[in-house]
Amino acid sequence: FEPVKIAPSILSADFMNLGRDVALIEEAGAGYVHVDVMDGHFVPNLTMGVPVVKQLKKTTSLPLDVHLMISNPLEQLPWFLDAGADSVTVHAEVLDADGLARAVACIHAAGAKAAVSLKPRTPVGALASVIADVDMVLVMSVEPGFSGQSYIEGSEDKVARVVAMATSVGASPLVQVDGGIGAATAPLVAAAGADVLVCGNAVFAVDDPARALAEVAAAADE
């Protein structure tokens, strides 16, 4: 049994002091740096891309967990892999079964971990063709696009359904949850089987990020 890992999302960090914020969460025991890439098309918002991943790779030894909220992941995937992404998440809504298989193969060929994400209204069945091949499944617990939103109640049930689906085919991908996770919601998703918790505002929009991170981790392991 592994303790839950925290993946702080730098979307909520201070971009003018990004190096400092990443060093801070590394020191505080974060498991990953979560990088939210948005293209203004798959989601309304526009955030960061390949150049930021490249710079992060030079400044931290934490694994870079790149969440691609973009419409054309097959086109852009190789760039993020070259830039040093350690895990890459693509969305099931923009790829058919063949596209998902190609994305996973491309990520694995680069030696990185492959993950597939589901928006809140996308059924778990969308994972059927890849569940046995992915290293991680990302369950969105808010509509992707913005940090600081409230956790959609009942998202923990979807975590449990993903775990059940994986178990039924003898697979054991990590299950990550993203959106509105903090000390209050961490216990719910952890109890349902989540392994990795993404935290944006809960870690960075507070006075003491290191302490906030420890509090979420402790709440998850209760």
Instruction: Tell me the binding residues.
Output: 9, 34, 36, 67, 145-148, 178-180
Q: Identify which of 204, 216, 174, 182 has the alpha carbon closest to the alpha carbon of residue 33.
A: 204
The item of Zn ion, ligand DX5, none sharing an interface with residue 21, based on CB under 5 to 8 Å by kind, is none
Q: How far apart are CA 185 and CA 98, in angstroms?
A: 35
Q: How far apart are CA 71 and CA 154, in angstroms?
A: 27
Query: From the annotation, which residues make up the binding site for substrate?
Result: 9, 67, 145-148, 178-180
Q: Does 49 bind ligand DX5 (CB under 6 A)?
A: no
Q: How far apart are CA 171 and CA 158, in angstroms?
A: 17
| Residue (133 or 143) nearer to ligand DX5, CB | 143
Verify whether residue 195 is a known catalytic residue.
no
Within 10 angstroms of residue 70's Cβ, the number of other Cβ atoms is 21
Chain center to CA of 97: 21
Query: Measured on CA atoms in the order 196, 113, 28, 140, is the torsion positive or negative?
Result: negative
Q: Candidates 56-64, 75-83, 177-185, 211-219: pick the segment binding ligand DX5 (CB under 6 A).
A: 177-185
- Token match 């918790």: residue? 197
Verify whether residue 21 is a known catalytic residue.
no
- Token match 């956790």: residue? 151
Query: From the annotation, which residues make up the binding site for a divalent metal cation?
Result: 34, 36, 67, 178
- Residue 36's identity, in one-letter code, is D
Among 107, 142, 166, 217, binds ligand DX5 (CB under 6 A): 142
Q: How far apart are CA 178 and CA 197, in angstroms?
A: 6
- The catalytic position among 21, 39, 135, 178 is 178
- Token match 């998850």: residue? 220
The item of Zn ion, ligand DX5, none sharing an interface with residue 200, based on CB under 5 to 8 Å by kind, is ligand DX5
Beta strands across the sheet bearing 136-140: 5-8, 196-199, 174-178, 136-140, 113-118, 87-91, 64-69, 33-38
What does the per-residue mask of binding to Zn ion show for 141-180, with x meaning CB under 5 A? -------------------------------------x--
| Residue (24 or 47) nearer to Zn ion, CB | 47
What does the per-residue mask of binding to ligand DX5 show for 57-96, with x meaning CB under 6 A? ----------x-----------------------------
Q: Does 67 bind Zn ion (CB under 5 A)?
A: yes
Min separation Cβ 208 and Zn ion, Å: 22
Q: Which token pair is 118? A: 């589901």
Interface contacts to ligand DX5, rule CB under 6 A: 9, 11-12, 34, 36, 67, 142, 144-145, 147-149, 178-181, 198-202
Q: Which residues bind Zn ion (CB under 5 A)?
A: 36, 67, 178
